[in-house]
Each structure stands twice: as structure tokens, then as C-alpha cells.
Amino acid sequence: MVTARTARPTLGLIAFVAFAAVGIALWTQHALGMQPCPWCVLQRLIFVVITLAALPGVLSPRAGVPALSSVAVMALAVAGVAAALWQHLVAARSPSCDLTWADRIVSGLHLDTALPAVFSPQASCAEAATKLLGVPYELWSLALFAVLGILAGLAFRSRANAMPRIQRAV
């Protein structure tokens, strides 16, 4: 169980795991030839933003920052689960994902041109539909988003329980 003293390390673990997820995705892309589609790239972006959202909760000396970081990570994890589900249920069955919501976000932020090795879609959603150890790649992502969201919820709860309670005068 996560306690008040472990909220910051839990957020640190979240930041590390989310960052590592992007590293693993890059390794599978560049070493194993698993080219990403726009929805894959969007999920990478969400993992990066989760890392950035968790870090203030780890580094800030202010008491309320871990709770805010936890809420941000929970919201981003829900967005990640939604993106992975959409990729699995809709996009992977589509011959093209050009001009989809994911494609518009990535190209609208110019991430595909600023950091093409990380954020440039290289395949259509149907072409990118691949399995890792027999499980569709996007379901691995979905599971990781869910775990990160649960950890953030535990970190938030531990911060909420650690806050002093206001006692009513008798």
C-alpha cells in the first residue's frame, strides 16, 4: 500500500516507467522494425506527458504538488487507455489513419518534424497492427496506462489521507 511517505517515490516510479515505455517503443521501432502509426505515436506522446506530469510531484517541496501531479497522471492515463482502445478496436482495422484525430494532434504540434525519430508515424494503422509475445502491441500500452493510472490513484489517495483534517470545535 502506498503511504504518505511513498507518494513521491510512487510518482518517481510512474515517471520512470512512462519514460521507459517510450524507450522500449523506440527500441522496437528502430531495432525490430515495428513501425509506428499515428495512434502509436500519440500514445508515445501521452507517455512523455505522463513523465512530465509526474516529475513536479517528485521534485517540488510544496505539499500539494504530488496530489496535483497524481490527478494529472490519472487523467492522462485515461486518455492513454482511450487511445489504445481506439487503436485496437477501430484504427487497426482501418486501411489508413491519415487525418485521424491522432494524426492531427501529432502533426498539429509539429512533433513529427521536430523529433521525427520519436514522433513521426511511419505506417498505416493496419500495417502497424503487430503483436509482441502474442499480444497486440496496443494492448500492452493499454495495460501500462491502466497500471500507471492505478499507481497515480494510490499516490493521490495517500496524499489526501496525509492532509490534516479540520476538526470542528465542540
Residue 14 lies in a domain: yes
- Whether pLDDT at 47 is above 60: yes
Q: Which domain holds residue 80?
A: 4-161
CATH at residue 157: 1.20.1550.10
What is the count of structural domains for the chain? 1
Residue 97 lies in a domain: yes
Q: Looking at residue 98, what is its pLDDT?
A: 58
Residue 168 lies in a domain: no
Q: Looking at residue 104, what is its pLDDT?
A: 72
Record the cell numbers describing residue 50, joined without a space.
Answer: 505522463
Residue 25 lies in a domain: yes
Task: From 39, 19, 18, select the one nearest 101 (Cα to Cα).
Answer: 39
Residue 130 lies in a domain: yes
pLDDT digits (tens, 9 = 90+) for 73-129: 999 999 999 999 988 787 766 666 656 777 777 777 777 777 777 777 777 766 767
- Whether pLDDT at 34 is above 70: yes
pLDDT digits (tens, 9 = 90+) for 157-167: 875 545 444 44
Residue 104 lies in a domain: yes
Residue 53 lies in a domain: yes
CA torsion, ordered 101, 104, 109, 113, to nearest 10 deg: 130
The H-assigned helical ranges of the chain are: 7-30, 38-59, 65-89, 101-108, 111-114, 116-119, 125-128, 137-162
Residue 86 lies in a domain: yes
